[in-house]
Amino acid sequence: GAVVSQHPSWVICKSGTSVKIECRSLDFQATTMFWYRQFPKQSLMLMATSNEGSKATYEQGVEKDKFLINHASLTLSTLTVTSAHPEDSSFYICSAVNSGANVLTFGAGSRLTVL
């Protein structure tokens, strides 16, 4: 079945540094990927839609300069949290559209802790 790999699964960084999270579709091509943020005991909040070869579409209230998204190939999208602060600590989840199966496939998530 379709697999989406997300790396790293855990990351701890100092305040002010930048962190990159990768999302890869392993056995299918994904022209569209989504990045979500999940706060403890809450639902997933869509941050942005990542489109291969074009700029990402950000949801209202999400700072595009803070959360840089790059989708340079059909199997890879990256989310970079720039100048991270403790309030950016969260669980970030990516998903990719597997158009053949008409299903969104999710990565395992990346837990970011900013000290």
Partner 1 sequence: AQSVAQPEDQVNVAEGNPLTVKCTYSVSGNPYLFWYVQYPNRGLQFLLKYITGDNLVKGSYGFEAEFNKSQTSFHLKKPSALVSDSALYFCAVREDGANNLFFGTGTRLTVIP
| One residue of 7, 20, 106, 113 binding partner 1 per CB under 8 A | 106
Q: Identify the three-state secondary structure at position 73.
A: strand
> Would you count residue 91 as binding partner 1 (CB under 8 A)?
yes
We find the least distance from the C-beta atom of residue 16 to partner 1, in angstroms, to be 26
For residues 89 and 91, which CB has a smaller minimum distance to partner 1 in the complex?
91
Asked if 79 interacts with partner 1 (CB under 8 A), we say no
**What angle is formed at CA 76 by the lines to CA 30 and CA 48, rounded to 5 degrees?**
75
Q: Going by DSSP bridges, is the β-strand pair 10-13/57-58 parallel, antiparallel, or unpaired?
A: unpaired
- Which 3 state secondary structure label does DSSP give 9? coil
Tokens linked to 46? 């869509």
Binding test (CB under 8 A) with partner 1, winner from 6, 77, 78, 90: 6
Is 113 in contact with 95 (CB distance < 8 Å)? no
Interacting residues toward partner 1 by CB under 8 A: 4, 6, 32, 34, 42-44, 46, 49, 91, 93, 95, 97, 102-109, 111
